[in-house]
Homo-oligomer: A and B are copies of this chain.
Amino acid sequence: MGYKHNKEDILEVGYQVIRKNGYHHVGINQILKEAGIPKGSFYNFFESKEDFARQVIQYYGEGNRKWLQDIFQKSEETPINTLKSFYKLLIGYNEEDNFCSGCLINNLGNETGRLYDSLAEETKEQFDQWLDIIAEVARKGQEVKEITSSFTPKEIANYLHSGFYGTFFKMKVERSRKDMDTWLEMTFKFIKA
C-alpha cells in the first residue's frame, strides 16, 4: 500500500507554487507546508532545493509533452489552424489564471538559467522536446502549402513558441490578454505560405 507520501504529489505542489512565485521567492518550508510533508521526507526524496526544482521541471516537461502529443493527434483542423487553436487555448488558460503565472519553463529559464547549470540544462531539454512536437505540425503545414517554406519546421516552431513567451512580459504587467491576441493574429498572418 506504499508509504504516506509520494514524489509525484510533492512535485505537483512544487510545480504550482514555483510557477506562480518563481524559484528564489519560494522557500522549502512553504513547499513542505502546502504539500503537508515534514522536512525529513523532503530531503529523503530530493538532494537539495536545486535538485527539487530540476525534477519539477522534468515532471512538468514530460507531462506537458504527452498533453501536446495528444492534443495535436486529436485535432481535426488543418495544420495551421491546429497550431492557431493551440495558442488560442494557451491564451485562454492564462486568462483563467488571471495572467499571473505564464509558463514554468520560461519563468525558470529566465530567472535561474544563468545561475544553475542543472536548471538551464533541464529547461533547455524539455523545451526542445516540445519544439519537436510543434515542428511536426509545422512540417505538415508546409507540406500542404499552408505555412511558408522559407524556414525549417523547427525554426517555425521555435519562432512560434519563443514568440509566445515574449508576450508573457506584457501579460504579467498589464494583466490582460490584449497583446497576446494581437501577437496571435500577427504571427499567423506572417507564417502563412
Which positions in A face B, CB cutoff 8 Å? 20-22, 24-25, 99-102, 105-107, 109-111, 113-115, 120-121, 123-124, 127, 150-151, 155, 158-159, 162-170, 172-175, 179, 182-183, 186, 189-191
Q: How far is the CB of A182 from chain B (nearest CB, A)?
A: 6
Q: How many copies does the complex hold?
A: 2
Contacts of A159 in B (CB 8 A): 182-183, 186
Contacts of A163 in B (CB 8 A): 163, 166
Nearest chain B residue, comparing its CB with the CB of A154: B182
> A173 contacts B120, CB within 8 Å?
yes
Contacts of A167 in B (CB 8 A): 162, 166
> A172 contacts B22, CB within 8 Å?
no
> B22 contacts A173, CB within 8 Å?
no
> A170 contacts B158, CB within 8 Å?
yes
- Rounded to whole angstroms, the CA-CA distance of A101 and B114 in the bound complex is 8
Contacts of A162 in B (CB 8 A): 166-167, 169-170, 179, 183
Contacts of A158 in B (CB 8 A): 170, 179, 182
Contacts of A174 in B (CB 8 A): 124
- Rounded to whole angstroms, the CA-CA distance of A111 and B24 in the bound complex is 10
Nearest chain B residue, comparing its CB with the CB of A182: B155
Nearest chain B residue, comparing its CB with the CB of A155: B182
